[in-house]
Structures are given as C-alpha cells and as structure tokens.
Structure 1
Amino acid sequence: MPMAEQEQKIIPGVVAALGIVFGDIGTSPLYTLQTVLNDTGATDRETLLGSFSLLVWTMMIVVALKYATLVMRADNHGEGGILALLSLVGPNFGKRWFSRTTLLAGAGLFGAALLYGDGAITPAISVLSAVEGIGVVTQALHPYILPIAAAILFGIFAIQPLGTAHIGKIFGPVMLLWFVSMGLIGVFSLAHEPGVLIGLNPWFGLRFLFEHAGNSLIILGAVFLSVTGAEALYADMSHVGRRSVRLALAVVVLPMLILNYAGQTAFLVSHHGLKGNPFFATMPHPLILPMVILATLATVIASQAIITGAFTLTRQAMQLGWFPGLNIRQTSDSEYGQIYVSVINWLLMAVTLAIALTFKSSGKLSGAYGTAVSTTMLITSVLMFDVLTAQWKWPLWKALPVMLFFGVIDLVFSSANLLKIADGGYVPLFIGFLIYIVMTTWRRGSTLLHAGLTPLEADPHKTIGNLQEGKILRTPGAAVFLSRYQSVFPPIVTRYMSDFRSLPTQVVVLNVQFDPIPRLTKDQRMKITDVEENIWQISARFGFVEIPNLSDVLREAKEKGCDVDLDKVLFFTGDDDIVANPKNPEMSTLRRLLFGFLYRNAVHASDRFTLPRERLVEIGHQVEV
C-alpha cells in the first residue's frame, strides 16, 4: 500500500481515537493538579516540581507502558475491555469455588462491575470541573454553576435515545482542538518559567514522596486522577484500531497533557500562593470563557464515551450470561457501536445527578473518583499475569518481573484510593458491589433454572421411534422452538408434546448460543441437523458483541435445505414461572428473591431477537430454584 494511502487512513483514525478513546484522560487537567496541591497543602517550588514529576511519570508508566504497550496486546480477536480479557482467561465462575479460573473470573467480573461506578462519577466530576470555570470569569455566576452542570448532565442522558452517530463525527475534531489548545496554553505559561521542565526528571517525584512519607498515599491518590481514563485505551480500541490509539497517544495526547501540566506548574511557581483552579488561572482573561465552552464540550464528549461504554459492557455481559435480558436498540444503521439501553441510561442519569447534587463541586467529588478505576486496574494486572503465563506461554522468570512492576504500582495506587473511602470513595465501590451481586445472582439462578429444566428433555431415540410409529400425531403448520439447550428435543418441545399430544408438520428446534469471542465468520455461524422427516435442529452461534438476527438465520437455513414456511411459522418460547424452594442450599433467600425479580422483568425473546409478537406463543412451566 502506498505511503500516501496509509497516511490517509492513519490520520482519520488518530482523530477518531481522540474523540472516542481519550475524552476522560483528556479532561483530567481540569481538576488533577488542583486536587494534588489541595492534598499536599503547599505550593512551594519543590512541591510543584515534585507534583509535576509524579503526574508525568504516572502517565508514562500506567498509560504508555502498561496499557498502550502491554495490555492492548491482549485483545480477543480485536476486542478489548475487561470482559474481553476475562473471556481469554476463561469465564468458569462458580464451577469450583477455589479454582484458579473461578477466582480470576470473580475478580474480573468485579472489575467490570466497578466500571458502572466509574460511569456514574466521570460525567459528574468532568462537567462540574468545566462549568466551574465560569466562576473564574466572574464571581457573580458562581451560584449558577451547579444548576448549569445539572442541566448539562440531564441533557447528555436525555439525547441518548436519539443516538450520536451524526454528532459523533465532530467528536474527534473537537477533542483535537481541545488538546492543541491545552498544549498551546501550557507553552504560553511555560515560556515565562521554562525551568520547571527539570521536573521531567523522575528523581523530583521520588524525592517529593520521600519528603512527604506520612502523606504520600494521600498525594498518590490525587495524582492517580491523571490516568483515570487509561482503561478506555483498552476497552475502546476495537472502534479505531490499536495503531490509531497508540499514535494518538504518542503524537497528541501525552505531549499536550505534559505541556499543560508543565504550564500550570510554571504559572503557580511564578504566582506563589494562588488560590483556585490553576487550569483556568493560566489563561489570559479573554480566553477563559471560550475555554470554558470548549472544556464543557470536551467533558460532554468524555461523558458520552463513558455512557456508550456502559451500554457496550451491558450487551457483552448480557450475551455472556452475566446479565438479564434488556431491551437494546441500535441507533445507527452504519455504526455498530451505536446502541441504546434504556434501563442503564436512566439509572446512570439518576445516580450521576444525585452524585453531582450531593457533592456539589469537583473538588469534593475528587475524593469519590479513582477508587473504582484503580481497583479495576489492579484486577487487570492480575488477569494479565494469567494471560502472560497461560495464554502467551511466557516463562515465569520473564512474566513475574513484568507483572510485579505493574502490580506493585497498581497496588500502591489502589491502596492510596482506598484512603478516600470516607470522602466519597465508597460511592463507586457500593455501585460496583450492587452490580456484582446482580451479575453473579443472575448467573447462579440461570444455572439452577437450566438444571431444573434439564430432566424434561425427551429421549431422542424414543421420541423419533414414537414419531415413526405414529404415536405422536403431526398436525398442519410450521413451528420454530427457541431453546437454550443443545438437545434435539429440549424441554420446550417436550412440554408442547405433553400439552398438545402432537407436533406440527414442520418443526425447527433453534438453539442460540453466544461464544466467548467477539465475532464469528459466516461458516461458523450455523449448524443444521436433519433429525427426522421435516424436523430440523439448528445451532446458531454469535460472538459476544454481535446482534443476533434470527430471521436471517432462518432464511439462510431455508437456502440450505431447511424447507420451513417462514411466512406462516409460529415461534414458541419458554415463559417459566420461578417457584421458591427454601430447602435448596444452592441459593440464599434474598438472592432467590432478587433472581425472581430479574427474571420476571427480563425482556422476552420476541424483543431480544426481534421476533413478530403476533406469531409468538409462550409455553410456561413451574421451576423450583
């Protein structure tokens, strides 16, 4: 491929990566250095240089080395994120409580659940920190900061049902303008005090920590805010590609962030004792209002990325069997990642607004931020060690030093953030814990439900014999039985034969399953088995990021010999009634009640698989759990 053609593809990819991947980390200069200095309690030159050094090297180690260099290599057929990483390790949660895969899967699942807590806090702190800039313009607007931020947050969630495919095209250019503006403003301040660049030497950061030994963990908890968007590099890399993410990081993101932090440091060195947010203080007064507007746009984009990530995570968890069925709507015909999950959207909005209205400022909210992300990063390191040794077959002498290096750093940052629990760090942990309980309860209840229905499966040899001998009548019509089971005559078919004492002339037993890989090729999609005359079994497989279309599956099956009349076919699904069995030691009473609530409110097969409701018949059965 000619170099010019390569560049044409690389440049749009880099710009797109800025809008999709780097919104969160790109808005961290709005509040990070201010939080570090508040926790340090001093603004002398040595403190400022030490803080600047820590910020730079935290970004270099966590973002550039750990995520961009190592973790992004652990993709699952191009897909990233902690659930994709978990699928590489093996999602064998609950088979043996103290097995390696169970412990790793449990940790990975908790890390995924924590991302919902991050998704609620990120929009709140980002928008608040941006809107607080108007208080620098004039104190008269200070009382309006919280109402304006709340209105913006409400608007972000309110537009989600419309989709963002069209306005999403401007995300990249806006974020490019944001990064360049931050860098240029940093250069402007740096020109008056270039000596602060000596802080690029890591020794200043280490000496700073030694001199503040008793307070070092608290300081590191604030420093960690500079990398809270790092997990997005891994989670969103499938949207633009690994190369585009790395180039955007190396060419735009890291240089502009370092220049801006250097500019804030330089300004504070030459304006000793300055109070307030140094990000807006570094700017010439006429630029403050335009930068407040641009910062608000950048935080909206960062919030949009977090919300979209929550939707994507929900779909992945649902199709991997960790979440009940929810109504997912595609909001774009061309953009696969443009989906909308109503329940998640409005719950996130309620929690985000409650957080913003409770904490009221980005400074107070910084205590709640980082706890979930740092824990997720630590869990990622644990899972990566398993990938290095079990998947990539690295020898222990090679894998152990690498993961000890990153693991110790993650452990230090995680411990530092745990000190902020009383100041609000409990919020994302509590949200993550609730989601974790929901996910594990759904998985366990689904397993027990499956076990309760398994005895109803019919013996295929006996059933085929009865059909051939005419003991089971064949009535006119065509039926598609949707089943979670691999058997030829699953429980739903058995119940039909028991209730109607017959089978339709044409029968399709359609089993849908989701594999722990993102996408399948057309050749892997479907397997058709001729069971008996005019009886077919179809096994349809989908990747965990794919949207299943059963109409397409049936049309393709018809082309391959499954000669069922699709215009007149009736679809049969199970609508089982959960009955509590207090004597069952496999599930506690509270979790049984939770599973029953989730099961009753999960979407029906007709909604999840886009089936015509006028031709759908649900067959019920009582199952003890």
Structure 2
Amino acid sequence: MSPHKPTKKQTAALSLAALGVVFGDIGTSPLYSIREIFSIGDNILELNILNMLGVLSMIFWSLIAVVSIKYITFIMRANNNGEGGIMALLALAHRNAKTKRKRMLIAMIGIMGACMFYADGMITPAISVLSAVEGIEIALPGFHDFVIPITLIIIFFLFWFQSKGTASVGFLFGPVMLVWFSTLAILGVINIINEPSVLKALNPYYAYLYLHNNFAIAFITMGAIILCVTGAESLYADMGHFGRAPIRITWFSFVFPALTLNYYGQGALILQNPENIINPFYLMSPEWFTVPLIFLATIATIIASQACITGAFSVSRQALQLGFIPRMRVDHTSENQEGQIYLPRVNFLLMVGVIAVVLIFQKSSSLAAAYGVAITMDMVIASLLSIIVFAEIWKTWTKTVIVFSIFLAIDLVFFAANIIKVPNGGWFPLLIGIILLILMTTWSKGRSILYNKLKNESMHIDDFIKSFKRSSIARVKGISVFMTPNSNGVPHALLHNLKHNKVMHEKVVILTVKFLDIPHVKQKNMLNIVKLPNNFYQATVNYGFSDEPNIPRELAKSTIRGLKFEPMATSYFVGKESLVITKDQNMGVIRKRIFSFLFNSSEEITNQFKLPVNRVVELGSQNNF
C-alpha cells in the first residue's frame, strides 16, 4: 500500500467529514426545489401525474448528468496538486494558455466565475435559512411575521461566530448531516410506499415526454429544476480538503440515494393531495415530527451556510495570493488545521450582502430566480475552463470538445432557462457580479500598471552595487531586508533610506515574494538566496496560492554562510506609496480612483507577511498614477 493512500478507516472518517462540509448545500435543496418547480410563473405547469413523473425524471437525470458525471467523474480529475475550485481551475487553464491574449481571456472568465461564487455565497445562506425557518408557518401559522426576524438573527450569529472558528464544533457537522440525510431518505421511503408509481420516473423516457409534450413550459421550469443540483461546485472546491475518493464514495453510496428518495417521496405526497404543493417537504413529515424537523432543517442549513462561508474565505485567500483582490487580514482560527481561516473584511461584506438579500426578497421562493442565475453561470464557466484544462490532460482537442460540448450544452440550456427570469430576481447576482468584476479587474490591471511604472523608474541592482562600491556610505551592524516586487531593481525604500539616513546595514537583502499558480510550494523550493558583491543578497520567497506567508520563518531557514537571520538584528524596510491620480491612456480616471481607494484600504504588508511590527521601517513616497 502506498504511504499516501488513506486506510479504510481514514477514508471512512474523511467521508463522514465530507458529508458535513461538502454536501450541505445540495443536501438542503429538497427544502424548496419541488415547490418552486410547480409554482414557477404563477403555476404555469399543470399538476398531474405525467408532469410529476417528468419533473422527477428530470431531477434524477440532472443529478446524474451534472453531479455524478460532469463533476465527480470528469472535472474532479482536474486537480492542481490535489486542490480544486474555481481558482485552482483558473490556475490550471492559465498555465496551459500559450499566448498573452489567451491568458487574458482565461483570467477574465475565471474572475467572472469567482464573482458568481461570491454572489452564490450571498444567496445560499439566505435561501437555505429562510426555507428552513418558513417551516414555522406549517407548525404555527400565526408565527408568519416572525420568519424574517428569526432568519436575520440566525444569520447575524452565524457570521458573528466565524471569528471564533469552527474547529470546536466542526466535528459535529458530519454526524448532524448523517442524521439529516437519513431523515431525508426515511421520509421519502414512507411517502413512496403510499404512492409507488412515482418510481416510474427513474425511466428517462418520462423526462423525454416531459420535454417533448410541452417544450416551452418545460424549458421555463428547468430554471427551477437546476436548484436540485445547487452545491455541485462544492464537490470540486473541497476536493483539496478531503480527496476525490471520500467525496465520490459519500455521494454514490449515501447522498445521491437519500436525495432521490426524498424528491420522489415529495412527488408521491403531492400526487396523493395536490394541496400539499404549498410546502411538500414539511408536509411529508408526520405531524408530531414537524417541529423537530424544522429544528433539524435549521441546523442543516446553518451547516450548509457555514460551508459556503468557509469556501468564500478559501477562494478569497487564493484570489488574494494570485493578485485579483487587495491585501486583507487573514486570521487562522485553528492551530491544527491550515484551512481554518477567517477574513474579517470578507465576513462583514458577506453578512451585509446576505442580510440585504433577506430584506429585499423576503421569501425563499422569491430567491429561486436569483439563485438559478448564479448557479448556472458558475456551471458554464467551469465547463469553459475545463475544456482548456482537459485538452492538456488528454493531449487531444477532439475528445475534449466532444465530451465537454455535451456538458456545456446542458449548462447553457439551464442558463437560458434562468436568464429569462432576470426581472424576477435574476438581476441580483448579475448586479453583484458586475460590481465585483469591475473591482477585481480594476485591481488586477492597476497593480500591473503600477508595477511596470515602478519597474521602469527603478535602477538595476547591478548598476547600483557598482556605484555603491565607490561611495563612502557608513555601514552598521545588522541585516536590512528591503521588500520589492521587482527582484532586479533597487527598491525605492532603499534609496529613500540612503537619502535621509545616509547609512546602510552591514548586510542588505533585496527580497521579492512570488505567488505561484500552484496550491503549495515544497519547502526546498520556497527560499532562494543569491550572494551579490559588497554584502548584498538577492532573495526570493515562493508561495503557492494556499500557502500561509511568513517571511521571518522562511528567512530563518537560510543556509548561506555569513547570513544568519536573527530577529533582533534584522530590520525590514517597506515602501508606502501615495498615489497621485493623473490622466493617461492606461486607465480611466474613475477606475484609477477606484484602484486608489482599494490600494489605500488594503491590509498593511506587515500583517500579510507576518513581519515583526517592532522591526519594520516604513518609508513613504509619492507616485503619479
């Protein structure tokens, strides 16, 4: 057995953990999906046995086509050193692009995917918690006015708790979701027994009849059918935490059967009494179990929302490392698990977004259109990036285009069915996506412009060292580390230090930090130091987009003789640029002002790289931008 291959016991533990993190989103879809399909467009879909069998067949085969085949069988093969998710897929596709134009196009597609991920992150907690709390109306009809306040309270405490970390309660997620999916399956079986004819819907012929008999109405309802596969992208995004095998095993052996049984159970319940369409999920439960089911559903949606928020933190850190968003504070909430991170700024903005969604839409049914647009755009973007990645994996464009054209066609049909609902709520994820797209592209382009400007204005390090030999600048004991993105240029902070202090440390290190398009960099490749004349050193620290930066820790591993980094003998010099907005052809003034705002509000470099605050010297400079 390979030392890297998990044992059966480890696989079982990972599968249970994956159940609590990966499948929360798709596992709470039964709360609202069937109800939304038959209530779409003021009940344009007639409630009869043939349509019900068609809808159930569409759900079953959508789960197979999108989740089982597209994501688990194919897309999860595209891993970036074990990592998955939209940013990992973007990095793989970007690496395979041969021209600058292709890389720019891929970057734009990937950024759009990240934007939709954030929009999804605002909608998922809102629709999940709302749909769970709305069960109160079934048990206690007089409590209708309390649905929104209770939902907002749950959401507030959910986001407030993020700073504490989930390590202390995370071990409960798996067992709770095990109970949840078992409950879904049991409730489904109980109702199927009363109306076993719904099992006919396992035959894809009923899906064909559903589409063939009245394609226009069937096409519109596909905008709600897609709600059944929401969360499929989480399978891929969380692959790095659990591995492909535990996710695949958990899906096929437990989650997929439980979801199928519950959807078919809801269908059976509605066929027995069409009035149950008002809220089939809660009405399929025995009356005595309604209140416990509401409580269990609320806990399940909180766990699903927690997984979504955690995913937003992970994607944000990856986007930060890859240079798509400004520096921001990243706190580690667990000493044992690297993935347990908390980003205060992202958490606050997500909380504001989720609360706004609840207040704007008021009901989970009103959110269905918005949710559908975000999900389907995510799916389309994943398929587009996968074409580029798998062409490299399979070494053939023919096979890649044939396979992923099928997936892309399915995605586009679902997307088209949702995009027509823009006036009914689909505008929200598009609005959020456009805003984030503008911010992310502005930041990315602004960084590139500023870097090139500073690079062109800086003196080459070799020329500086030659001139420095002839100078009479005093040298003092200790090591000075000057940080710069341009490893071959003289940092502005170094020149300002000479100009004002007229002194130089005995050893000078020009340090550049690079973030690579891989999740993790091996320790042996993380630090590289080259000795230059006159006690100057050129150092490069490489990080992956999932690595935790810590400059002092990396420099302490230096093996170059005569360059021993001692905390109290090392000073860090960083430049603090002040931007002066000017008019030019590189970028519009409005976008420059946006970049300037983001630049000034970004986290201090001291915090991002874990520099000791009492050993950092900031030297300001003013730059035209």
Does the pair score TM above 0.5? Answer: yes
1:54, distance to aligned residue in structure 2 (A)? 0.7
Q: Which residue of 1 aligns with 2:498?
A: 497
Q: Structure 1 residues 551 and 332 mapped into 2: Cα distance closer, same or farther (>3 Å)? A: same
- Alignment-derived partner of residue 9 in structure 2: 8
Q: Distance in 1 between matches of 2:196 and 2:68?
A: 25
What does residue 83 of structure 2 align with? 79
Alpha carbons of 1:560 and 1:520: their partners in 2 closer, same or farther (altered >3 Å)? Answer: farther
The SS at the match of 1:433 is helix
1:569–1:246 distance in 2 versus 1, CA, 3 Å: same
Residue 593 of structure 2: aligned partner: 593
Structure 1, 66-75 or 415-424: larger mean CA deviation: 415-424
How far apart, in 2, do the equivalents of 1:577 and 1:523 lie? 37
* TM-score normalized by the length of structure 1: 0.96
Distance 2:570 2:173 in 1: 45
Match of 2:126 in 1: 124
Are the equivalent residues in 2 in contact too, given 1:518–1:543 (CA < 8 A)?
A: yes
The correspondence for 2:45, drawn from 29, 41, 45, is: 41
Provide the secondary structure at the position in 2 that maps to 1:489: coil
- What secondary structure sits across from 2:258 in the alignment? helix
Task: Identify the residue that residue 192 of structure 1 maps to in structure 2.
Answer: 194
Aligned positions of 1:342-357 closer than 5 A: 342-357=344-359
In the TM superposition, what is the alpha-carbon distance from 1:5 to its structure 2 partner? 8.1
Q: Which of 164, 167, 170 is matched with 1:165 structurally?
A: 167
- Measured after TM superposition, the shift of residue 495 of structure 1 is 3.4
Matched position secondary structure for 1:486: coil
In the alignment, which residue of structure 2 is the partner of 1:557?
A: 558
Q: Tell me the residue number matched to 1:607.
A: 607
Distance 1:454 1:355 in 2: 44
1:462 positional shift = 3.0
Amino acid at match of 2:377: T
Aligned-residue offset at 1:557: 1.5
Check the 8 A contact 2:185/2:262 in 1, yes or no: yes
Q: Give the structure 1 partner of residue 219 of structure 2.
A: 217
What is the deviation of 1:395? 2.4
* 1:617 aligned partner, one-letter code: V
Tell me the distance in 1 between the aligned counterparts of 2:593 and 2:489.
32
Is the aligned partner of 1:622 residue 2:622?
Answer: yes
**Residue 69 in structure 1 maps to residue 86 in structure 2:** no
Equivalent positions of 1:149-548 (< 5 A) are 149-389=151-391, 391-487=392-488, 489-548=490-549
Indicate conservation of the 8 Å contact 2:455/2:489, yes or no.
no
Are 1:581 and 2:582 matched, yes or no?
Answer: yes
Cα shift readout 1:348-374 (whole Å, capped 9, x = no counterpart): 111111111221111111121121121
Cα offset for 1:396?
3.0
Match of 2:103 in 1: 101
1:458–1:491: 8 Å Cα contact kept in structure 2?
Answer: no
Partner of 1:140: 142
Instruction: Write the distance in 1 (CA, Å) between the matches of 2:485 and 2:102.
Output: 27
How far apart, in 1, do the equivalents of 2:613 and 2:462 lie?
A: 33
- 3-state SS of paired residue (2:276): coil
1-structure distance, mates of 2:488, 2:320: 23
Range that drifts further, 199-208 or 605-614: 605-614
**2: CA distance, partners of 1:489 / 1:579:** 22
Once the two structures are overlaid, the 10-residue window that deviates more, 106-115 or 392-401, is 392-401
Q: Deviations over 1:46-87 (max 9, x none)?
A: 111111011111111000000000000001001101111110
CA shift, 1:507, in A, is 1.4
Structure 1 residue 275: Cα displacement: 4.0
Distance 1:558 1:498 in 2: 32
Partners of 1:481 and 1:572 within 8 A in 2: yes
Between the aligned partners of 2:72 and 2:412, the Cα distance in structure 1 is 19
Amino acid at match of 2:498: M
Identity within the alignment, %: 37
Q: Deviations over 1:131-180 (max 9, x none)?
A: 11121112122221111111111111110111111111110111111001
Give the Cα separation in 1 of the matches to 2:98 and 2:189. 54
Question: Which one is further off, 272-281 or 6-15?
Answer: 272-281
Distance 1:377 1:498, change over 3 A: same
SS where residue 539 of structure 2 aligns?
strand
Q: In the alignment, is the contact (CA less than 8 A) between 2:387 and 2:400 conserved in 1?
A: yes
The amino acid across from 2:592 in the alignment is R
CA contact (8 A) 1:315 1:545 kept: yes
Q: Is the 8 A contact 2:36 2:224 kept in 1?
A: yes
Change (3 A) 1:460 1:486: closer
Counterpart of 2:32 in structure 1 is 31
Conserved? CA contact 1:452–1:623, under 8 Å: no
Q: Secondary structure at the match of 1:586?
A: coil
Spell out, residue by residue over 1:112-131, the C-alpha distance to the aligned partner (whole angstroms, 9 max, x if none): 11110000000000001111
Q: CA deviation at 1:234?
A: 0.5
Distance 1:148 1:333 in 2: 33
Which is worse superposed, 324-333 or 144-153? Answer: 144-153
Q: Which stretch of structure 1 is more off in the superposition, 36-45 or 109-118?
A: 36-45
Structure 1: distance between partners of 2:401 and 2:459: 51
For the residues of structure 2 that align with 1:275 and 1:245, how far apart are their CA atoms? 33
Whole-angstrom distance in 2 between the partners of 1:7 and 1:316 = 31
Moved more, 445-454 or 295-304: 445-454
Secondary structure (helix, strand or coil) at the match of 1:511 reads strand
Structure 2: distance between partners of 1:332 and 1:216: 48
More deviation, 525-534/545-554: 525-534
Q: How big is the shift at 1:433?
A: 1.5
TM-score (norm 2): 0.96
- Structure 2 letter corresponding to 1:568: A
Deviations 1:171-225 (A, max 9, x none): 0111111001100110000111111100011111121122222223320000000
The runs of 5 or more residues in structure 1 that have no matched partner are: none
Alpha-carbon shift at residue 476 of structure 1 (Å): 4.1
What amino acid sits opposite 1:593 in the alignment?
R
SS at match of 1:513: strand
Q: What is the CA–CA distance in structure 1 between the aligned matches of 2:363 and 2:260, rounded to whole Å?
A: 25
Structure 2 Cα separation of the partners of residues 69 and 534 of structure 1: 55
Deviation at 1:484, TM superposition (A): 1.3
Which stretch shifts more, 175-184 or 525-534?
Answer: 525-534
Output the CA distance in 2 between the equivalents of 1:579 and 1:11.
Answer: 58
Opposite residue 54 of structure 2, the aligned amino acid is G
Alignment partners' CA distance in 2, 1:150 and 1:20? 23
Q: Distance in 1 between matches of 2:195 and 2:449?
A: 67
Q: Distance in 2 between matches of 1:371 and 1:94?
A: 32
Q: 1:179 to 1:559 in 2, by over 3 A?
A: farther
- Deviations 1:316-347, CA, capped at 9 Å, x for gaps: 01100111000111111011111111111111
Aligned partners of 1:147 and 1:254: how far apart in 2?
33
1:113 aligns with 2:109: no
Considering only aligned residues, what root-mean-square deviation do their CA atoms show, in Å? 1.9
1:393 shift after superposition: 4.1
* One-letter amino acid of the counterpart of residue 178, structure 1: W
